[in-house]
Structure 1
């Protein structure tokens, strides 16, 4: 009796069907494949490359924050400058002329004069030192009084608009008032005398 090997049944080759309109043209990946694609090692193999990428990312974030401080874009500003209350405090401070912002440049000029003039004329040294003390302490006293008035004004305006005054907002405004207007960050968004937004 002779046995012949039976041939396996032939299956017809799958015909490529045209993709349905709106389909992605490939099968959806399994969950296992998707998780494997997302999986990253906890410790990167190339540490130098990872440090370089981190530095680039941090540098980009700093540049964006600096640009936001210049343009007034609150979404990208550092956290200490964000929020409607802080924006309002900045506007209240920027809308008025603050004594401290004018006093510090004037005090610097007086100090330079007090250092240079005695070298030119020795007889004026005692007079200059006495005048310098009067100008400096008088200016500081006026700055303190102006800061006290600003503090009261900020508290009243914040309570009127937002209710309870958050801790640190008044100090934020006073520190801004001490800075020279053109060097303030975030940049002033309103002019002197203009009503806060």
Structure 2
């Protein structure tokens, strides 16, 4: 009696999932392979015999993984983002900054242009020209500060409306994103300029 149970139980242990499913459905296309044949088919050597090919495969696998992480970061997929970029409030702050056209975005190109003009063309400008360039640079700086202040206030108002609270650091995060040129921002902008956020 016990021998009969054991004999009936052995084939079930040797069957794969597909074959078990086929048997339950009343169909079997081929005899069940033996356990040792299945184990042998799944075995892989710990150290590959061809070390050069193994290194090439490992290099390709790492490159594909890094490319997937890079694409995930660029598109804003939560699992690939850095800790500073994660969370619904930070996502909203990014979209808020990307939907706006701010003077702050063009601050660094304008400052670089002022430096080139004031240093490279200083003999041609003279004292009055250099003074005018310096005051103009400070004027741009003041405009950027005012623009960032209004961006800060608008972002805070929208965050309080949408989330009822503001997480620490989110206002700085969203406001300073407007200082970066659009094509240099990471994660990449997911909304177009002028988009109305909900």
TM-score tier, shorter chain, comes to: 0.5 to 0.7
- The answer to whether the aligner puts 1:102 opposite 2:106 as a matched pair is yes
Equivalents in 2 of 1:172, 1:22: separation in Å?
61
- The answer to whether the aligner puts 1:68 opposite 2:69 as a matched pair is no
1:170-189 equivalent positions in 2, closer than 5 A: 170-189=171-190
SS in 2 for 1:178: coil
* 1:109 CA displacement: 1.4
Q: Is residue 122–residue 130 contact of structure 2 (8 Å, CA) maintained in 1?
A: no
Equivalents in 1 of 2:172, 2:61: separation in Å?
32
Structure 1 residue aligned with 2:7: none
Instruction: Point out the structure with max Rg over C-alpha.
Output: 1
Structure 1 unaligned blocks of 5 or more: 1-18, 28-33, 38-50
Moved beyond 3 Å, runs of 4+: 19-23, 51-62
Structure 1 residue aligned with 2:87: 83
Q: Could you give the per-residue CA deviations for residues 76-122 of structure 1, whole angstroms, max 9, x where no partner exists? A: 43233232211211111111111111222122112112222135x3x
Bigger drift between 57-66 and 160-169 goes to 57-66
SS in 2 for 1:167: coil
TM-score normalised by L of structure 1: 0.66
Equivalents in 2 of 1:58, 1:82: separation in Å?
24
Equivalents in 1 of 2:195, 2:68: separation in Å?
28
Equivalents in 1 of 2:102, 2:157: separation in Å?
18
Alpha-carbon spacing, 1:153–1:53, altered in 2? closer, same or farther (3 Å): farther
Structure 1 residue aligned with 2:129: 128
SS in 1 for 2:194: coil
Equivalents in 1 of 2:100, 2:77: separation in Å?
22
TM-score normalised by L of structure 2: 0.66
* 1:54 CA displacement: 8.5
Alignment RMSD: 3.6
Alpha-carbon spacing, 1:22–1:101, altered in 2? closer, same or farther (3 Å): farther
Q: Which has a greater percent of helix?
A: 2
Alpha-carbon spacing, 1:22–1:141, altered in 2? closer, same or farther (3 Å): farther
Equivalents in 1 of 2:188, 2:148: separation in Å?
21
Aligned residues: 173
Structure 2 unaligned blocks of 5 or more: 1-21, 33-38, 43-54
